[in-house]
């Protein structure tokens, strides 16, 4: 590990013996000493190069240390940097390596949440990265899970809690799965059947049947949160069924369900087909909540690091474009054909532009009805875990942070966003406000305990 230590620090030895002399080898020393604070992969690889150069300049480590002590490390860095081009050397080492795998299969569910992932195909963002991607429309979330576990898909559109659940082995065989980016924020809604036009107060919903896309979905957690805040126990007072999003409108029309908290375009589609109305946008519950994610397995990242990086760039490029309001009508146009969403363009456009009919005779204008912030906040993961705990999906103690940090790849996202000159937040945790109630990701257990209606024993 000595190559990772700062070669401009006179107290660090670059030789074979350990730096402090207390250990027999550098390995033992490193085991005892923590990895340097700025230990992200990029600066570490920079260190390796700097160390190599310093070792070439000062074959005898004692000479290097005397030199550094004499002139000071920053002067030394500047002086040697003027002779040796550290920057280009580092860039060369980091240059995009050859793609390990070019033909990729990516699964998706035909909903607007998958916008960045889908539009990268017709707009050529995958091809630009040298990837030949086949997008596979998939019938439901359980199948998305199975096809990822089977490795039929290389990467996939996920509900953002799914990689957490799969990694923990909840409702699935345990396999380490990651959230590379969040696909979309907001963009969901509670849609009710038109016959319930005068039942806008959740107190009147006792006995209602609702559909959500999957157990491990933000939809399920938000619906439960919403009705619980209104005094209903989601496990006993209402019925929640899992229904694949595309089948929600058909079920609503048939009267099998009274409403759903589902992804768009199906909320808008229910309005368009005059079977439902939009009761509340999910944005009004938690502004900026994550919904779907772009995920890959641990194994895929390990076996195909360069392909993964290329894929990352393609999806982030998409997200950056999708964030611009002026691009939204064009995006609606390219993702609506039968090969992708298979929906009328006007429905998708209403979702993406935020100018929509609500099914009650009003035209509403909510430009941030759907947005595509890709950054995978680890605080979001902790929130999801608190809700899994709250509703009894997780039993026993949970190491919230450890799971969140393992599954949500905030560091990678930050690195790749920087490459594309996108702004990424410096922190990975932030407080969250859901229906006016503050959530502090540092105190997850207290948060779970603070709810009157919950299942956790």
List interacting residues with other proteins (CB under 8 A).
110, 121, 134-139, 143, 146-147, 149-152, 246-247, 249-250, 269, 271-274, 337-340, 342-344, 346-347, 350, 355-357, 361-363
What minimum distance in Å lies between the beta carbon of 272 and other proteins?
A: 6
Nearest CA-CA partner of 157 in 128, 125, 184 = 184
Interacting residues of 313 by C-beta distance below 8 A, sequence separation 6+ = 129, 416, 419, 420
What minimum distance in Å lies between the beta carbon of 426 and other proteins?
A: 39
Would residue 231 be called left, alpha or beta, if left means φ above 0 and alpha means ψ between -120 and 50 degrees? left
In a 13 Å sphere around the CA of 433, the CA atoms on its Cβ side amount to 5
Pick 131 or 410: Cβ nearer other proteins: 131
Residue 457 CA to residue 449 CA, distance in Å, equals 10
Could you give the 3-state DSSP secondary structure of residue 47?
Answer: helix
Between the CA atoms of 443, 445, 451 and 454, what dihedral angle is there, to the nearest 10 degrees? 150
What minimum distance in Å lies between the beta carbon of 353 and other proteins?
A: 10
| DSSP codes joined into one string, 192-251 | EEGGGTT--SGGGGTT-EEEES-SSSHHHHHHHHHHHHTT--TTTTSEEEE--GGGHHHH
What minimum distance in Å lies between the beta carbon of 109 and other proteins?
A: 10
Pick 151 or 206: Cβ nearer other proteins: 151
What minimum distance in Å lies between the beta carbon of 256 and other proteins?
A: 14
Pick 163 or 246: Cβ nearer other proteins: 246
Interacting residues of 396 by C-beta distance below 8 A, sequence separation 6+ = none
Nearest CA-CA partner of 181 in 317, 332, 285 = 317
Residue 307 CA to residue 302 CA, distance in Å, equals 10
Pick 18 or 114: Cβ nearer other proteins: 114
Pick 138 or 282: Cβ nearer other proteins: 138
Pick 50 or 343: Cβ nearer other proteins: 343
What minimum distance in Å lies between the beta carbon of 455 and other proteins?
A: 26
What minimum distance in Å lies between the beta carbon of 249 and other proteins?
A: 6
Pick 46 or 246: Cβ nearer other proteins: 246
């Amino acid at each position: 590990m000595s190559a990772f230590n700062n070669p401009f620090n006179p107290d660090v030895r670059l030789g074979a013996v350990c730096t402090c002399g207390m250990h027999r080898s550098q390995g033992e020393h490193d085991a005892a000493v923590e990895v340097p604070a700025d230990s992200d992969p990029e600066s570490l690889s920079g260190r390796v190069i700097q160390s190599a150069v310093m070792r070439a300049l000062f074959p005898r480590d004692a000479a290097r240390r005397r030199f550094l002590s004499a002139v000071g490390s920053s002067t030394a860095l500047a002086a040697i940097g003027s002779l040796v081009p550290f920057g280009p050397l580092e860039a060369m080492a980091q240059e995009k390596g050859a793609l390990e795998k070019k033909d990729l299969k990516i699964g998706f569910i035909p909903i607007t949440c998958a916008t960045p992932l889908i539009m990268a195909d017709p707009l050529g963002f995958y091809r630009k990265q040298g990837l030949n991607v086949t997008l596979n429309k998939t019938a439901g979330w359980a199948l998305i899970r199975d096809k990822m576990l089977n490795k039929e898909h290389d990467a996939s559109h996920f509900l953002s809690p799914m990689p957490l659940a799969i990694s923990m082995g909840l409702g699935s065989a345990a396999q380490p799965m990651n959230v590379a980016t969040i696909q979309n924020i907001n963009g969901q809604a509670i849609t009710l059947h038109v016959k319930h036009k005068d039942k806008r107060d959740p107190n009147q919903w006792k006995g209602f049947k609702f559909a959500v896309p999957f157990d491990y979905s933000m939809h399920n957690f938000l619906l439960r949160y919403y009705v619980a805040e209104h005094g209903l126990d989601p496990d006993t007072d209402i019925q929640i069924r899992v229904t694949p999003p595309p089948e929600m409108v058909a079920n609503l029309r048939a009267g099998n369900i009274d409403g759903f908290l589902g992804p768009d375009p199906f909320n808008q589609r229910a309005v368009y087909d005059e079977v439902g109305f939009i009761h509340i946008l999910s944005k009004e519950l938690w502004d900026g909540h994550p919904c779907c994610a772009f995920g890959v397995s641990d194994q895929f990242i390990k076996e195909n690091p360069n392909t993964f990086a290329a894929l990352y760039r393609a999806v982030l490029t998409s997200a950056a474009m999708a964030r611009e309001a002026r691009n939204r009508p064009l995006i609606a146009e390219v993702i609506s054909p039968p090969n992708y969403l298979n929906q009328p363009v006007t429905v998708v456009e209403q979702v993406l532009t935020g100018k929509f009919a609500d099914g009650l005779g009003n035209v509403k204008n909510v430009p941030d009805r759907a947005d595509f912030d890709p950054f995978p906040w680890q605080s979001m993961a902790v929130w999801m875990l608190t809700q899994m705990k709250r509703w009894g999906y997780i039993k026993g103690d949970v190491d919230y942070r450890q799971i969140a940090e393992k599954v949500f790849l905030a560091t990678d996202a930050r690195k790749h966003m920087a490459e594309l000159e996108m702004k990424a937040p410096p922190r990975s945790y932030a407080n969250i406000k859901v229906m006016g109630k503050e959530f502090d990701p540092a105190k997850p257990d207290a948060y779970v305990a603070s709810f009157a209606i919950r299942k956790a024993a």
